[in-house]
Amino acid sequence: MRATAVACMYLVLLVGNADGFWMGGGVIKRSATVSKSSSTSLAARRLAFGGRGDVQQVSQVIGGAMPASAQNLAVSLDEPLMATRYLQPGRTGMSLPALIGLSLKLAVAYLVFQVTLALTRLTIDALLGEDSGNEPALRVVGPSILGKLGSFIGAVTYSLKVGGLWALSPLAKVAPDVVHFWRLLWGRVARVIDFYQAKTRPVSEELDLSGDEWGVSTLVSKEPIGEAGYVRYTFKIPEGKVLPLDMAQQLTLCCLDAGSNVAKSDFFVSSARHVVGKFEIVATRGAKKDEAVLGRESAAFHSVLYEQMEVGDEVAIKPGKSTLEYRGQDLPVTDMVYLCNGLGVVPIINQVKELVGVQSSTVQTLSVVWINEKPEEFYKGAYNELEDEFYKYNKKLDVSCCLANDVYAGAMSDNEEIVTSVPDFQPGTMAVLAGPDYFVKKANMFLQSKGYPADCICALG
């Protein structure tokens, strides 16, 4: 194969030009036809999006065989082949400098070919789902140039995606399929970038919080998000460290209020577990109305965090409880069903991100049903993250955002959107519930009424 590649590169360098491939005393210009493909209808999408729709293979749009037609051929015999110029009468062969230059070009071309081949294989493996496991194959200790390059490529790609959506925004109403297809296409690109970034992610040391030890974090920012009264807090931890948390494990935060009273609460971290040197949480402002949902102690901490904590203040942290457990008898788990309300979506998003892209996992499908009373409770940060994951894995992930008139008192079985969004139980299904206690109880009863065994249902928190 290498010999063939070298020979091909030699011929391309020797007889190629910018306009076409030199052949038989003339030039055959390249022509390509791109087949048009229809995109998936958006009619099945609910409030925002959802449904494992079919999508045209990307290869139909950006690749595939493209035969040239007779009218595209333009032949000229005025100029001899570059390769035959050295065989013309009066030429004795290539000079030594020319031979050295050609050899260097050949070496560089071969190197470029090998790098391109390796990157192509990685890309194909990622797109075809041939990842060999959860752990990245390439692990780099400390700052990684490849990792920084991957982050840069990701940022550029994100900018291109947003720019494309902005350019296509006038078509959103008249031609929604075009916008939908664009997002699906960029979702495939994002999958490849995620795959590359996972392979080049540096190894980081976990923060030592064993036993009864508390760690120290520093508040670096607080940012109100949306119109539902949520706030995103960012905390700094020692440089180069990551939080020692398992999937869906909570983090306990503790501080003193203005009266030197201890205030603490448990949170699901909204940032990814492997983020180095910091973490984020999303919380309510701790108003009086939140006590019914959070409890008095937790609501008091939320209030201290929002009203009294300033940037630069320290908060003690340590790992909290973990309740993610499958007690069912049907193994392996092949389908995940998530029901969440309000900020219960935070741990669900991180689970989806960790499971949906791992090809070695036994999980084949994931369904997320996010239920709220008001549209603003589908706050932008979480909504966008779920939407991005949907467009990356629309054949594996189903997302439904359902409005309910009364989450506290209303019956889920009376809401047609919820009923149709929750898939029927089949062996190997695990259901995960997240949200306030009253929501978890109602969701548990609803799932059992649909035939879900109690030991296949797990409640977070």
Angle between helical axes of 96-128 and 176-199 (0-180°, round to 10): 110
The tens digit of pLDDT for each residue in 44-62 reads: 333 334 444 333 332 333 2
Shared domain for 312 and 391, answered yes or no, is no
- pLDDT (0 to 100) of residue 404: 94
Closest CA to 327 of 217, 200, 171, 456: 456
State the Cα–Cα distance between residues 290 and 279, nearest whole angstrom: 24
Shared domain for 229 and 300, answered yes or no, is yes
One-letter identity of residue 448? Q
The tens digit of pLDDT for each residue in 426-460 reads: 999 999 999 999 999 999 999 999 999 999 999 99
Is residue 57, in this structure, part of any structural domain at all? no
State the Cα–Cα distance between residues 333 and 336, nearest whole angstrom: 8
Q: How far is CA 261 from CA 156, 257, 290, 316, in A?
A: 47, 5, 20, 14
Domain termination site, one of 203, 228, 255: 203
Shared domain for 345 and 451, answered yes or no, is yes
One-letter identity of residue 221? S
C-beta of residue 357 within 8 angstroms of C-beta of residue 194: yes
Q: Strand, helix or coil at 343?
A: helix
DSSP 8-state symbol, 223: E
Closest CA to 397 of 46, 44, 50: 50
For residue 308, give its domain range: 215-322
Cβ burial 43-78 (10 Å sphere, 16+ → b, else e): eebbeebbbbbebbeeeeeeeeeeeeeeeeeeeeee
User: Per the structure, how many domains does the chain have?
Assistant: 4
CATH of the domain at 224: 2.40.30.10
- pLDDT (0 to 100) of residue 159: 59
CATH of the domain at 367: 3.40.50.80
Shared domain for 227 and 274, answered yes or no, is yes
State the Cα–Cα distance between residues 41 and 177, nearest whole angstrom: 6
Is residue 327, in this structure, part of any structural domain at all? no
- pLDDT (0 to 100) of residue 456: 97
- pLDDT (0 to 100) of residue 217: 96
Beta pairing class for 202-203 and 140-141: parallel
Shared domain for 356 and 446, answered yes or no, is yes
The tens digit of pLDDT for each residue in 350-373 reads: 999 999 988 788 999 999 999 999
CB atoms within 10 A of CB 103: 10
Cα-flanking dihedrals φ and ψ of residue 184, to 5°?
A: -65, -40
- pLDDT (0 to 100) of residue 199: 75
Shared domain for 263 and 173, answered yes or no, is no
- pLDDT (0 to 100) of residue 91: 46
For the chain, what is the radius of gyration of the CA atoms? 28
Shared domain for 159 and 254, answered yes or no, is no
Q: How far is CA 325 from CA 32, 246, 249, 443, 457, in A?
A: 54, 12, 11, 17, 9
State the chain's maximal CA–CA distance in angstroms.
100
> In tens digits, what is the pLDDT along the chain, a chain of 461 residues?
444 444 444 443 333 333 332 333 332 222 333 333 333 333 333 333 444 433 333 233 323 333 333 333 333 334 443 433 433 444 445 566 677 767 776 766 666 665 665 565 555 555 544 443 333 333 333 344 444 555 555 555 555 555 555 555 565 565 667 777 777 887 888 888 777 777 777 778 899 888 788 999 999 999 999 888 899 999 999 998 999 999 999 999 999 988 888 999 999 999 998 899 999 999 998 776 777 778 888 888 999 999 999 999 999 999 999 999 999 999 999 999 999 999 999 999 999 999 998 878 899 999 999 999 999 999 888 999 999 999 999 999 999 999 999 998 889 999 999 999 999 999 999 999 999 999 999 999 999 999 999 999 999 97
Beta pairing class for 205-206 and 241-242: parallel
Closest CA to 363 of 351, 345, 348: 351
State the Cα–Cα distance between residues 23 and 4, nearest whole angstrom: 19
- pLDDT (0 to 100) of residue 68: 38
Residues in the chain: 461
Shared domain for 76 and 151, answered yes or no, is no
Quick one: CA torsion of 93, 96, 97, 102, rounded to 10 degrees?
70
Is residue 60, in this structure, part of any structural domain at all? no
Shared domain for 286 and 361, answered yes or no, is no
Shared domain for 252 and 296, answered yes or no, is yes
Q: Average pLDDT over the chain, rounded to whole? A: 73
Tokens of 20: 């076409």
- pLDDT (0 to 100) of residue 247: 93
